[in-house]
A and B are shown apart, each in its own frame.
Chain A
Amino acid sequence: MSTQQYTVVGTRPIRHDGVDKVTGRAQYGADFQMAGLLYGYVLRSPHAHARIKRIDTSKAEKFPGVKAIITAADFPPTAERLVDLGEGDTPLSYARGNVLAGGKALYRGHAIAAVAANSVHVAEEAANLIEVDYEVLPAVLTAPEAMQDGASILHEELKTKEFGEQTGRVSNVSEHFRHTMGDIAAGFAEADVVIEREFNTATVHQGYVEPQNATALWNSDGRILVWCSTQGAFVVRDVTACLLDVPVSHVRVTPMEIGGGFGGKIPVYIEPVAALLSKKTGKPVKIVMSRKDVFEGTGPTPGSHMKVKIGARKDGRITAAQAYLAYEAGAYPGAMVGPGAMCVFAAYDIPNVVIDGFDVVVNKPSTAAYRAPGATNAAFATETVVDEIAEKLGIDPLDLRLKNAAKEGTRRADGPKYRRVGCIEVLEAMKNHPHYNAPLGGPNRGRGVAIGFWFNIGLPSSCNISVTADGTVNLVEGSTDIGGTRTSIAMQAAEVLGIPAEDVRPTVVDTDSIGFTAVTGGSRTTFATGWAAYEAAQDVVRQMKERAAKLWETDAAPVTLERGVFRAGEKSMTFQELAAKIEQTGGPVVGRGAVNPKGAGGSFSGNIVDVEVDPETGKVSILRFTAFQDVGKAIHPSYVEGQMQGGSAQGIGWALNEEYYMSRDGAMMNSSLLDYRMPTALDLPMIDTHIVEVPNPGHPFGVRGVGEANIVPPPGAIANAIHRAAGVRMRRLPMNPPAIMEAIWRQRD
């Protein structure tokens, strides 16, 4: 456990951008204004699968106030190559096709054309005058359906890759991969109990409250300037440059404040569209999505069809585990089934494992990351099967998990061997928590537990720190601040410099003004950009020591810095006093930090949840919820708790209510925040948090990253609680009242 004593790390300062965010002054993407602004509107496909035979824009062009109209034909012709979308590569034609459909519309909501006009209302009216001839094709909406022989094919050129080899077979399965470890048949033969279950989970959306937005100006000097809300300004820069066939240095992206993302604001949708409209008009163009566009036109996270089979001996030791994971990629390949397969059994030390993953395209929006993408679906399956095994063997579900918990040296079936991890510590914290043995206090109530894992990522980050004569420092970095990371990054610099967090002024800057920084995603920002800040601060310290040595006419080596005081022998000077003298000792002090860390440490999480199931209506109420997570080291505990609470709330929504409710022909029937029901304040209890700190050996302060693992256990924990409350095993998400009633009635029959 964490024992190191810090001055700033682990405290709870007020966030640096706080005042602007509670007074309405903070500028989010949609707040951006500039002279001569035009407004864009995107026309979207009303069909889930259709060939686009003709687009006639002539009527729309004549509509008063319209300045320009574009379609996919306005993209420059570019040769096929791979594009890095921030969390993986994809062929350019797919990236471009999702921004504006070429030959086919592949989902309802797929962008077809865009209009720029002098008001958003004019642009919308004009867009509705665009005539599109569609040849409607049969739609496939789920993985099992899309995998059938004779299923309607989305991409005629897409051939299945199997075990890394091209098969040459055209199908909706983009890839089938397999991870194996040990001898699966021998493992199951050794088991006293084997349980195999089948699961289905619905497509769900990240549900950020701020819709996507972008303003672009294609300037007369050839530079494209973009202002938008994104998780990765450099991804927007690179993808925009790639699709518009200009050098990356011609694009400057200014990340505005961002109203949530959770993975959904990594992909690029409207920035290249706004840029093309700007090129045609010579004016800046702003596009803001409607909520319906957000649901129908941006990437939700995959629905899935899964089978999980686990075998254990009477003593509770798991001997073998097998998973079949078919995830819906949506319109283009890339279903997050890779990370799902990495996480499905990641919390356990199991000798014999086989995991099959299928990436399946369907006629729904192209999916995106959502907080530990792929892991929540998989853990729902694993954690409910593990619970059944514990029940069958008469072993306490936490004891069974402890007996099989992943630990240092455990190898996952996909390859990696764990360094120091906190799975056991999380389980022990759960077992020792008063919640675990508290009385339930009423009928129709039950308590469930589950655990989860997310591996977290590293990737490049950059940070510069300039010393100001008054003893404060200015810190600039390239990570969009979604949840308080300006502060968690600044605190790591402050710790090194020995100054208060308030004396570090962090700013998130545009892509011209800082070195490459990867997305705010993968729980990496406090880990990797924090590490860049640590390095930049170390660089400042080195230079400041030289300045002190110069003043004191001694060698740099013996100067020390402790708690903000430089010392050499008898001489001492505070950081502030020395900062006042930087002008006379050689001029500005600027520290640089640029990292590409490999030491991301996986994070384990767990939930104890109490529910009450109304046997008449099937409504599930969450009575009590406690979230546990190994965070390595909590830099700012309040915002760490906030991540745990927020991930829990999203997991609860995913478990109980949220789904893309699709018509047979592929229309989303609930594309509003009234009908796509996310938890409100009235639906949730207080969410208690228990921070576990097993320092990550791969980070200077032991940080693991905290953003994602917390969403993984809730559906499994809630399903297990429902079983104890109502006697039914739920095997699909969401576990909404109709699903619960159906299960209860089936059991009565």
Chain B
Amino acid sequence: MPAKVRVQTTINGEQIEFLCEPRQSLLECLRDVLGLTGTKEGCNDGNCGACTVMLDDRVVTSCLVLGVEAEGAQITTIEGIAKGSELHPLQRSFLENAALQCGICTPGFIVAAKALLDHEPNPTEDQIRLWLANNLCRCTGYDKIVHAVQQAAAYSREVRA
């Protein structure tokens, strides 16, 4: 059994220290070591986007990042999107637009969509579809997800106005 490595990182604003095997992915560390099971595994090879998290300022599929690469990083997972008990505009708009059915892909979509809105507060439909193209949803046909992101962008504009 390989020796474990100590990793110091920041997850959802909290400084965290954990032990992991060098071969463990960040996804595995989040889920199995830290109990942050909101990040989902759909394929474990970077193709479905269910495990999407923010690593510093990048959108990453956490199954393709090693746990040890979290050293010194700032990570945001679905558990860190709401402000306490106040839902993020994207979370509200996903509920109001029925933009989820089974919900397994939802955490990844919300993290990816938040990255888009942080980068581009007024995205076009094409931009939304491009930014979300790495996230597979098999239930909705994406229609209501795209609408939810458009509405969340409008919410955020209202807040800024």
Contact = CB atoms under 8 A, between A and B. Distances in A.
B47 interface: yes
B142 A672 contact: no
A24 B102 contact: no
Contacts of A18: 94-95, 100
Given A673-B47, A681-B146, A482 B102 contact: yes
A209 B42 contact: yes
Contact of A678 (B36, B82, B95, B136): B136
Contacts of B87: 19, 22-23
A25 to B, nearest CB: 7
A210 B129 contact: no
B98 interface: yes
Interface residues of A, number: 61
B45 A260 contact: no
Interface stretch (A195-203, A642-650, A694-702): A642-650
B138 A262 contact: yes
A199 B40 CA distance: 39
Contacts of A649: 138, 140-142
A210 B137 CA distance: 10
A638 B98 contact: yes
Nearest to A688: B143
A30 B96 CA distance: 27
Interface stretch (B66-74, B105-113, B153-161): B105-113
B90 to A, nearest CB: 8
Contacts of A638: 97-98, 144
A210 B146 contact: no
Contact of B45 (A25, A206, A672): A672
A59 interface: no
B48 A24 contact: no
B1 A65 contact: yes
Interface in A20-55: 21-28, 30-31, 33
A210 B40 contact: yes
B48 to A, nearest CB: 5
A492 to B, nearest CB: 18
Contacts of B1: 64-65, 122
Interface in B22-64: 23, 31, 35-45, 47-48, 50
Contacts of A30: 31, 37, 40-41
A643 B138 CA distance: 11
A639 interface: yes
- Interface residue SS majority, chain B: loop
Interface string A661-681: 000000000001110001111
A28 B133 CA distance: 24
B11 interface: no
B140 A31 contact: no
A681 B112 CA distance: 13
DSSP majority for the A interface?
Answer: loop
B136 A639 contact: no
A30 B94 CA distance: 23
A448 interface: no
Given A482-B102, A681-B132, A682-B129, A645 B140 contact: yes
Contacts of B97: 638
B136 A642 contact: no
Nearest to B131: A681
B43 A684 contact: no
A684 B143 CA distance: 9
A368 to B, nearest CB: 15
Contact of A31 (B31, B106, B145): B31
Contacts of B35: 33
B146 A686 contact: yes
Given A65-B1, A484-B98, A638-B97, A207 B138 contact: yes
A257 B103 CA distance: 9
A157 B95 CA distance: 53
In this complex, the member of B48, B81, B95, B98 whose beta carbon has the largest number of chain A beta carbons within 10 angstroms is B98
B38 A650 contact: no
Contacts of A211: 41-42
Most chain A CB within 10 A, of B21, B44, B128, B132, is at: B44
B9 interface: no
A85 to B, nearest CB: 22
A506 to B, nearest CB: 15
A23 B37 CA distance: 11
B144 A645 contact: yes
B104 interface: yes
Given A24-B37, A638-B97, A646-B139, A260 B104 contact: yes
B121 to A, nearest CB: 19
A259 B104 contact: yes
With most chain A CB atoms within 10 A of its CB, the pick from B81, B103, B132 is: B103
Contact of B141 (A65, A262, A484, A645): A645
Contact of B40 (A22, A28, A483): A28
Contacts of A482: 101-102, 139
B42 A291 contact: yes
Nearest to B125: A686
Contact of A642 (B31, B42, B140): B140
Question: 10 closest pairs, A vs B, by CB?
Answer: A24-B38, A259-B104, A649-B141, A21-B103, A638-B98, A24-B78, A645-B141, A483-B101, A31-B37, A673-B47
20 contacts: A25-B38, A27-B37, A28-B37, A28-B104, A121-B21, A121-B23, A208-B104, A209-B137, A260-B101, A260-B104, A261-B102, A262-B138, A290-B44, A483-B101, A638-B97, A642-B144, A646-B141, A649-B140, A673-B43, A681-B133
Given A28-B37, A65-B1, A649-B140, 19 more contacts: A22-B87, A22-B90, A22-B95, A22-B100, A23-B78, A23-B79, A121-B23, A206-B138, A209-B40, A209-B136, A210-B102, A260-B101, A649-B142, A650-B138, A673-B136, A682-B129, A682-B130, A682-B133, A686-B146
Interface of B: 1, 21, 23, 31, 35-45, 47-48, 50, 77-79, 81-82, 87, 90-91, 94-98, 100-107, 110, 125, 128-130, 132-146
